[in-house]
A and B are shown apart, each in its own frame.
Chain A
Amino acid sequence: MPEELLRKTFEIQGWDFENAGERSAEVTTILKDLDVDPNIILRVGVVAFEAEMNVVMYAGRATLTLVVTDDEIVVEVADEGPGIADIELAMQPGYSTASDEMREMGFGYGLGLPNIKKNSDVFSLQSEVGRGTRLHSIIRLISYG
């Protein structure tokens, strides 16, 4: 069992575009403080940012939890949003239910979830329509030495 070294939970507020990205920036700052390999930080940053944006765009409220263990970094996002009916479809690059306004802001191109998966070593997504979605991503600290 890997030893848990640090756990921090952040609240994300839906539809708050002004502060979108702040939580993932905090996550990045913590990892920078810990002198984690920049490539790992980059991947965790992408995962946290995309997940945060998904919450801001679609879900009302969520928590983002960062866990650092001695051999991996875990990002977990649990929201109380509308849920995803067809996860397989949602995972397809380019598929999006974003509104035109969101697209004008540069989001909603249907690349968020695929991007999260691409940057994770372990990825899982569970969702229940009407209840919410839970995203779990693990990035291993293999190259760290």
Chain B
Amino acid sequence: MDKRTYGFRIDREKCQGCLSCMRVCPTHAIRVKDVKAQYRPDSCIDCGVCLRACSRDAICATTTPVEDLSRFKFKVAVPSPVLFGQFPTGITPAQVVDGLLAFGFDEVWDYSVEINLVARAIQQYVDQWTGPTPLVSITCPVVVRLVQVSYPAMVDQLIPVQIAREIAGREAKRRFSARLGLHEDQIAVIYITPCQAKTISILQPAEGVVSNLDGALGFPEVYNAVLACRRLKKGDAIKSSRPPIIRNSGLLRLHVSEGMGRLVQQHRYLRVTGLSNIIQVFNDIEKGKLRNVGFLEAYSCWNGCAGGNLTVANMYVTGSTLRSLARTLPETDPVTEAEVERRFPNEDFSLKAPIRPRPVRGTAASLKERVQMRQLAEDALASLPGLDCGLCGAPTCRELARDVSVGDASKNDCVFLSERRLQDLRRVYLRSTA
């Protein structure tokens, strides 16, 4: 496993050690030591819950700096369909495209063809699968990482079909390099993303390969450019002259309510959104309660990607906008269909490498030593109050007990066991809030 180099950073100047991020982290990847939050990158699944929890703006996620794009000769934007639901009524997808071009992109890529290609590959995979179910879609990078970290026995249930945006990246590079006589390295394909997790997944894919995309920009970075462009054009009273970017409603429907379910109809299908709900469902899967479900699509954000933390508009409004947009478009169209038929037999959609579990704790110790450490942790846990107050700097008593068993913490970090610890905290926290 490569060292994880992307993800979140904590600004030690801004961090006040308030414990908020540590308490909400679903994989217990944060500790607070010496009044500062610290990450354990191996346990982090890039969900971004900590970003929202921090009131001091002390946590920032890896992004693609816009200046980095200037080194490319040709720049292609691949917008998430959710982008088209971000703007006030009256701003059409064509105007959004105009805005992206004004922002500095040379082309904007509609990936409905890729969605259909990937859906077909997924359908084939689900049809021939004889192993344990449900199979789980890998569209949401947080879900993939959650499985790698917390449900390692489920990695083989992740569908090893590449994500549509990755296929779009590959095809855009191929097509434009041929058309323009450029090397593929001179072409940047940038995903316009509703969340930081997708940015990180492009910089460091879960399967340890190199992404076909060159980076990602969040909606806030292009939002104003689109609005500004529209304002300029208004005076001209000229409608955007470009052909409609979205030819059919498939791509939009995917993000509204139906998900991929419409595309894999023969199998019992579930769509789950919200990380806490996903964890509940995964626990049920482990307990064998969801055996009749063939295919599961899970999105870390409530309501799916419309609820991403780099979105601008309210997620319910976005949903409504996307739904009305979808109503104006045909379900499918001959151009898309023909492209899918042409490309499907000629392209490989399988993941470039298998997704493996991510070892969270070092496996250097022998099984015997690990059993002993587990016993140590159980013993430590028995002496802790079980209140999960977090004042020791670990999110739960169980986590502190684990840290103690591997030598990362001391039982005396617990304020119930050490008067000294309480005094130390009093001194630091009462002063810093005064």
Complex contact A38–B357 (CB within 8 A): yes
Complex contact A33–B374 (CB within 8 A): yes
Q: Which A residue's beta carbon lies closest to that of B148?
A: A38
Contact of B287 among A22, A41, A68 (CB under 8 A): A22
Which B residues between 117 and 155 are near A, CB-CB below 8 angstroms? 132, 152-153, 155
A83 close to B (CB within 8 Å): no
Contact of A28 among B132, B153, B292 (CB under 8 A): B153
Complex contact A49–B287 (CB within 8 A): yes
Distance to closest chain A CB from B166 (angstroms): 25
Complex contact A32–B152 (CB within 8 A): yes
Specify which chain A residues have a CB less than 8 angstroms from the CB of B363 in the assembled complex.
35
Complex contact B359–A35 (CB within 8 A): yes
Q: Which B residue's beta carbon lies closest to that of A5?
A: B371
Complex contact A28–B286 (CB within 8 A): yes
Complex contact B374–A38 (CB within 8 A): no
Specify which chain B residues have a CB less than 8 angstroms from the CB of A32 in the assembled complex.
152
Q: A38-B155, A45-B153 are in contact. Are A25 and B367 (CB under 8 A)?
A: no
Complex contact A141–B367 (CB within 8 A): yes
Q: Mark B311-338, 1 if CB is under 8 A from A, else 0.
A: 0000000000000000000000000000
Distance, CA A92 to CA B288, complexed state (A):
21
Distance to closest chain B CB from A20 (angstroms): 8
Complex contact B288–A24 (CB within 8 A): yes
Specify which chain B residues have a CB less than 8 angstroms from the CB of A141 in the assembled complex.
367
Q: Which B residue's beta carbon lies closest to that of A32?
A: B152
Specify which chain A residues have a CB less than 8 angstroms from the CB of B289 in the assembled complex.
21
Which A residues between 87 and 107 are near B, CB-CB below 8 angstroms? 106
Specify which chain A residues have a CB less than 8 angstroms from the CB of B366 in the assembled complex.
70
Q: A25-B286, A106-B291 are in contact. Are A38 and B153 (CB under 8 A)?
A: yes
Q: Which B residue's beta carbon lies closest to that of A69?
A: B367
Q: A5-B368, A41-B152, A70-B368 are in contact. Are A21 and B287 (CB under 8 A)?
A: yes
Which A residues between 24 and 72 are near B, CB-CB below 8 angstroms? 24-25, 28, 30, 32-36, 38-39, 41-42, 45-46, 49, 53, 68, 70
A142 close to B (CB within 8 Å): no
Distance to closest chain B CB from A70 (angstroms): 6
Which of A5, A46, A106 has its CB near the most chain B CB atoms (within 10 A)? A5
Q: Mark B220-240, 1 if CB is under 8 A from A, else 0.
A: 000000000000000000000
Contact of B286 among A3, A33, A34, A45 (CB under 8 A): A45
B71 close to A (CB within 8 Å): no
A6 close to B (CB within 8 Å): yes
Specify which chain B residues have a CB less than 8 angstroms from the CB of A20 in the assembled complex.
287
Distance to closest chain B CB from A10 (angstroms): 14
Distance, CA A110 to CA B276, complexed state (A):
34
Which of A35, A41, A42, A144 has its CB near the most chain B CB atoms (within 10 A)? A35
Interface size class of A (residues with CB under 8 A): 20 to 34
Specify which chain A residues have a CB less than 8 angstroms from the CB of B287 in the assembled complex.
20-22, 24-25, 49
Distance, CA A3 to CA B291, complexed state (A):
36
Distance, CA A38 to CA B152, complexed state (A):
6
Complex contact B152–A5 (CB within 8 A): no
Complex contact A49–B288 (CB within 8 A): yes
B277 close to A (CB within 8 Å): no
Complex contact B153–A144 (CB within 8 A): no
Distance, CA A106 to CA B291, complexed state (A):
7
Distance to closest chain B CB from A14 (angstroms): 17
Specify which chain B residues have a CB less than 8 angstroms from the CB of A6 in the assembled complex.
371, 374
Specify which chain A residues have a CB less than 8 angstroms from the CB of B361 in the assembled complex.
35
Distance, CA A73 to CA B173, complexed state (A):
50
Which B residues between 328 and 376 are near A, CB-CB below 8 angstroms? 357, 359, 361, 363, 366-368, 370-371, 374
Distance to closest chain A CB from B22 (angstroms): 21
Specify which chain A residues have a CB less than 8 angstroms from the CB of B370 in the assembled complex.
34-35
Contact of A68 among B152, B357, B367 (CB under 8 A): B367
Q: Which A residue's beta carbon lies closest to that of B357?
A: A38
B283 close to A (CB within 8 Å): yes
Which of B155, B289, B292 has its CB near the most chain A CB atoms (within 10 A)? B289
Q: Which B residue's beta carbon lies closest to that of A35?
A: B363
Contact of B367 among A21, A38, A70 (CB under 8 A): A70
Distance to closest chain A CB from B99 (angstroms): 46
> What are 25 pairs between A and B in contact, CB < 8 Å?
A3-B368, A5-B367, A5-B371, A6-B371, A20-B287, A21-B288, A21-B289, A24-B287, A25-B283, A28-B153, A28-B286, A30-B374, A33-B374, A33-B377, A35-B359, A35-B363, A35-B370, A38-B152, A41-B153, A42-B132, A42-B156, A45-B286, A49-B288, A68-B367, A144-B367
Chain A positions within 8 Å of B, measured between CB atoms, are 3, 5-6, 20-22, 24-25, 28, 30, 32-36, 38-39, 41-42, 45-46, 49, 53, 68, 70, 106, 141, 144
Given contacts A3-B368, A68-B367, 9 further A-B contacts (CB under 8 A): A5-B367, A6-B371, A24-B288, A30-B374, A34-B370, A34-B371, A53-B288, A70-B368, A106-B291
